[in-house]
Amino acid sequence: MTKDSKPLKTGPDGHRLSVIVPTLNEAACIGTVLDGLLETGGFEELLVVDGGSDDGTQAIVEERGVQLLRQSRPGFGPGLYEAFETATGDLLCIVDADGSHNWQDLPRMRATINDGYDYVLASRYCGQFKYRGIGRWPWSTSNDDTLLHEFGNLSIVFLAKLLHGYPLSDVMMGLQMWRRSIFDVIQLEEESQAFEAEFKLRVHHAGFKMAELSSVEHPRIGGEAKLNAWTDGLATARVLFREWKRSGWRRGPKSR
């Protein structure tokens, strides 16, 4: 610490949580999401990383005085990697800008980390059966999935369990929280939205303690999805096989 720098603020649990919001042309949604997050609180830092929006998204962020990072390299992964470098928290969390993530779950997720977990995911496919059917389908709590997305998501989960012994019930969900110290052990490289699979599988194979809690996924507030079900789905399938090979064809973590 330099002479003039102040110690960074932490919460009552001694952690500093940085919430990272990735955006690309989300003017229809970002204001509602930031207002909701700021009202709910429960974090120490809020950082929006923008992938080059030209629809007024950046102005909406600046109007609210929220920290804005303009990523220097295009793409979902590169934007997140720059945000991970810029954020100052020892806990990191991603909340999408389209309003589909239930940010009210952040305190529950933080409590799970404080229970001794390294990583926690908000899953769409692990609710108790009596609570399912909130979503479009009786087996999920997503109100955002189309039939194609649902089929793709569940196929990816099936493959991840089969090839990797993946312990959680969702792979492509982006609402997640983890200890920064995970990055002392794993490195990430994926640039597409297959980032979601690469990240979770590397955390799993490195033997970190992973948890999930049931969360509702809301429909996008407005604007257009950036995910392409076919190209990102195929990229994710490729990552599932690449990571299997990389792990030495293992179905679980090496003992640490």
Ligand X SMILES: Nc1nc2c(ncn2[C@@H]2O[C@H](COP(=O)(O)OP(=O)(O)OP(=O)(O)O)[C@@H](O)[C@H]2O)c(=O)[nH]1
Please identify, using beta-carbon distances, which residue of 23 and 169 lies nearer to ligand X: 23
The H-or-E segment that residue 37 falls in is: helix 30-40
| Helix residue spans in 41-194 (DSSP H) | 57-63, 76-86, 106-114, 147-164
Q: Which window, 84-92, 93-101, 117-125, 163-171, contacts ligand X (CB under 6 A)?
A: 93-101
Report in angstroms how near the CB of residue 20 gets to ligand X at its nearest.
9
Q: In angstroms, rounded to a whole number, what is the distance separating the alpha carbons of residues 75 and 128?
A: 36
In the complex, the smallest distance separating the C-beta of residue 97 from ligand X, rounded to whole angstroms, is: 3
Does 98 bind Mg ion (CB under 5 A)? Our answer is: yes
If binding means CB under 6 A, how many residues of this protein chain bind ligand X? 21
CA 29 distance to own-chain centroid: 17
Q: Which phi and psi (to 5°) does residue 121 adopt? A: -115, 140
Backbone angles phi, psi at 189, to 5 degrees: -140, -15
Q: Which does 37 bind (CB under 5 to 8 A by kind): Mg ion, ligand X, none?
A: none
**b or e along 163-176 (b: 16 or more beta carbons within 10 Å of the residue's beta carbon)?**
bbebebbbbbbbbb
Residue 26 interacts, among Mg ion, ligand X, none and using kind-specific CB cut-offs from 5 to 8 Å, with ligand X
Please report whether residue 196 would count as binding Mg ion according to CB under 5 A: no
Length of the chain: 256
Question: Binding Mg ion by CB under 5 A: which of 57, 100, 123, 142?
Answer: 100
Residue 190 interacting with ligand X (CB under 6 A): no
Closest contact distance (angstroms) between CB of 49 and ligand X is 5
- Contact by Cβ (8 Å): 28, 224: no
Binders in 214-233 for ligand X, by CB under 6 A: 220, 225-227
Cα Rg of the chain, angstroms: 18
Instruction: Identify which range of 93-101, 111-119, 145-153, 201-209 contacts Mg ion by CB under 5 A.
Output: 93-101
Binding segment toward ligand X, per CB under 6 A, in 45-53, 84-92, 121-129, 235-243: 45-53
- Cβ neighbours of 106 (radius 10 Å): 22
Single out the residue of 28, 47, 58, 79 in contact with ligand X (rule: CB under 6 A).
79
